[in-house]
A and B are shown apart, each in its own frame.
Chain A
Amino acid sequence: MAPPTSAGAAGTIARKNLRRGLRSRSFILMGVVGPLVLGTVLALAFAGKGPSIKIGVVDLDGTGVSRSMVKGLAEGLEGSQVQLAVRGPGTAAAGLVDSGDVQAALVIPEGYGASVSAQPEPLQVVGTSDNSTAASVAEGIADELAATTDLQRAVAAGLLRAGIDPTPTLQAGRVQPVISTKVEPYGDKFDAPMYFGPLAVFLFLGLGGSARLLLRDEHDGILDRVRAAPVSPRSIVGGSSGAVLVQGLVAATVVIVGSSVVFGASWGQPVEVAVVVVCFVVAMAGLLGVIVGVAATEMQAESWTNVLAFTFAVVGGSFFGGVVLPGVFGFIGLLTPNGAAMRALIELGPGGKSLDEVWYLPVWMLVLGVAGLLVGGRMLERRLR
């Protein structure tokens, strides 16, 4: 009887581990049910809402042009988390912000409407350092309005050149501001990361259990029987790693497809999402490979997995919809598989960027995963010899 090939033995071990994984209630709870339930709860609680930003608009101009601009602005922001509070000429913008009535204010200066066909008065933004996000949003809106004013000037110039009075056109608001400023990560792309956040954490914990089967089998003496068969250590490690990868992909696919079909989550272009998810699962498997390779016991490996999972969850923003922490923490967050995958999925969400623009995120995860699999695999092989 010829011994099995290395690939054949690895396949046999992987199939056996997958069978055991599918019978493991804890894996199904961790890998599939947990993310779906928690993702749904988080999505229902936060999706489309996000933090509300209230911006005051102080219209010192009070002309038909400025009123039409404010009206268009209000319509453009309808349904978003940015609320407008319009105040008349008698209001001091700084007082509004200081009192906390609004987080930032946009001032349309007096004579703005009259200057449309000439050199416009600059728009002013009043904000505080306590709320830089609101100030940024107000600045974004001001930039958009300035661009619109340029457009209005162009329209006015064209109408004047044709001998037509531009005032009715401008006052009727036929040239509307285009509001494109958004506060990431909230908005239309919010729900998919809400599912992926818990998935990342639970999957790491669930896959950790599968990866640790090798240590449990070693402790229980079953691994000795496997090693006494004509099977190489590489086949044993390869089969175990293969099972972890397949389990991770199956669980992720179930959560992504399930959340799309049942709860209507928007994930973006399927192939691009698949690339990110595959790279994420490889990264998870690699890190788990190192943990299992280094740990002396199953219990030790479990402790390290738990610590790492929750560290990644916090730093990578798994339970906060992928919110990136400020400064160096934001960069560290992107180095975690959770953070990198969530950022990639947010960027790739409906109406977002393409994979070409965020290629470095899946590539980083892939590098992390392959390096982990090689290092962890090597350590395990040496242990089995």
Chain B
Amino acid sequence: MDANTDAAIDRVADVLAATGLVRRFGERTAVDGVGFTVASGETFGLLGPNGAGKTTTISMICGLLAPDAGAVVVKGDPMSTGRCAAKAHLGLVPQEVALYPDLTARENLEFFGRLQGMPAARLRTRVDEVLELVGLTDRADERIEKYSGGMQRRGNIAAALLHEPELLILDEPTVGVDPQSRNAILTGIAELQSSGMAVLYTTHYMEEAQRLCDRIAVMDEGRIVAEGTTAELVALVGEHPVVRLSALGDLAALEQEARATPGVLRASHADGRLDLVVEGSASVMGTLLQTADERGVRVTGIEVDEPDLEDVFLHLTGKALRD
């Protein structure tokens, strides 16, 4: 056991401890020194664009890929690519639907339950429970290939929940899913947090990460470039809200007034719109609207753009999350 593994085992309070993970494919380093922990009841997000190294990291955590360096420990058990105790603690929801299309949902769940070593009686009960949970009870005995995309996604998640894992790993589970099913999936995952399950969630949708995750690691080019809560990450890069006023009247004069207003950091106008970078949008808004009224400027629309993870990512990497 190397120093990385010892360090990971020391974090016994964590369900998952990954330290110094490195994985190379030829000359290319896909993951370079990634490490983080996930505690019980916590949802941890890996946020990054396609190709950032999220899936490679997940593959090493699940024992699908051996790291070139670093270690993964799940509930105190070191992970390896062979048959190991650590794998019994986790449930994986792969990016693509990983169910046998020519078997029914029930048959799929029974198969994956048996692979986890679930006793027959418990398996039968649990299959019914999970089918109910994901809303597939009525069509449990239909083949997966006859399901809609959204239903297949729900089945995909059900197979990972069957054995009540202590760590649930979801690799971009909403890619290609319609908005209704996506919302149902996100709501379901949020409910799992209350059960005390640790969740590792990868996505390149920043709104999903913001909605679900207690902590987020921003990944780019195989490295974690920042880690923390959404608020911590936004504060880290010092981003401020932007207020956009659509208005009719003398916007040049209003811009001059705005620059002199406390809390307004920057102001500019163009095409009937005044953009203001502010500190604390709520307190500044009242003053600005009053000034506009006094100058005879009629405000036709207000838009407040709070800084988000997209801005954080742009700030940290110099590129957009969707690149």
Contacts and interface: CB of A to CB of B under 8 A. Distances in A.
Contacts of A2: 117
Contacts of B81: 227, 384-385
A23 B104 CA distance: 12
Most chain A beta-carbon neighbours within 10 Å: one of B87, B94, B115: B115
Contacts of B97: 221
B102 A1 contact: no
A225 B63 contact: no
Interface in A16-32: 16, 19-20, 23-24
Interface string A142-156: 000000000000000
B114 A12 contact: yes
A24 B63 CA distance: 32
A220 interface: yes
Nearest to A233: B82
B58 to A, nearest CB: 10
B103 A230 contact: no
Nearest to A384: B81
A232 B87 CA distance: 11
Contacts of B63: 227-228
B93 to A, nearest CB: 9
Nearest to A20: B102
Contacts of A217: 100
Interface string A1-19: 1111010110011001001
B245 to A, nearest CB: 49
A12 B87 contact: no
Nearest to A227: B64
A231 B84 CA distance: 8
B90 interface: yes
Nearest to B89: A230
Nearest to B164: A1
Q: How large is the interface on A (under 10, 10 to 19, 20 to 34, 35 or more residues)?
A: 20 to 34
A20 B87 contact: no
A230 B116 contact: yes
B77 to A, nearest CB: 10
Contact of B115 (A20, A229, A233): A229
Interface in A229-245: 229-233, 235
B119 to A, nearest CB: 8
A226 interface: yes
A1 B100 contact: no
Given A3-B116, A221-B94, A12 B88 contact: no
Contact of B82 (A13, A23, A226, A385): A385
Q: How large is the interface on B (under 10, 10 to 19, 20 to 34, 35 or more residues)?
A: 20 to 34
A8 B115 CA distance: 8
Looking at chain A's contact residues, the main secondary structure is helix
A367 interface: no
Contact of B98 (A16, A222, A230, A235): A222
Contact of A230 (B88, B96, B99, B107): B88
Contacts of B96: 220-221
A20 B88 CA distance: 26
B114 A4 contact: yes
Contacts of B66: 385
A275 to B, nearest CB: 33
Nearest to A223: B98
Contacts of A227: 62-64, 81
A65 B123 CA distance: 87
Contacts of A78: none
B83 interface: yes
B163 interface: yes
Contacts of B62: 224, 227-228
Contact of A231 (B98, B103, B107, B115): B115
Nearest to B116: A229
A221 B63 CA distance: 14
Contacts of A385: 66, 81-82
Contacts of B92: 224-225, 228
Given A16-B111, A220-B98, A224-B64, A1 B118 contact: yes
Most chain B beta-carbon neighbours within 10 Å: one of A3, A8, A222, A229: A229
24 contacts: A1-B116, A3-B83, A4-B117, A8-B114, A8-B117, A12-B114, A16-B100, A16-B111, A19-B107, A221-B94, A221-B95, A224-B59, A224-B62, A224-B64, A225-B160, A227-B62, A227-B81, A229-B112, A230-B84, A230-B88, A230-B115, A230-B117, A235-B83, A385-B66
Interface of B: 59, 62-64, 66, 81-85, 87-88, 90, 92, 94-100, 102-103, 107, 111-112, 114-118, 159-160, 163
Given A3-B85, A4-B115, A230-B116, 18 more contacts: A1-B163, A3-B87, A3-B88, A4-B117, A8-B114, A217-B100, A221-B95, A224-B64, A224-B92, A225-B92, A225-B94, A226-B115, A227-B62, A227-B63, A228-B64, A230-B88, A232-B82, A384-B81
What are the 10 closest A-B residue pairs judged by CB atoms, nearest first?
A232-B83, A229-B115, A225-B98, A228-B92, A4-B117, A221-B96, A230-B87, A12-B114, A228-B62, A230-B88
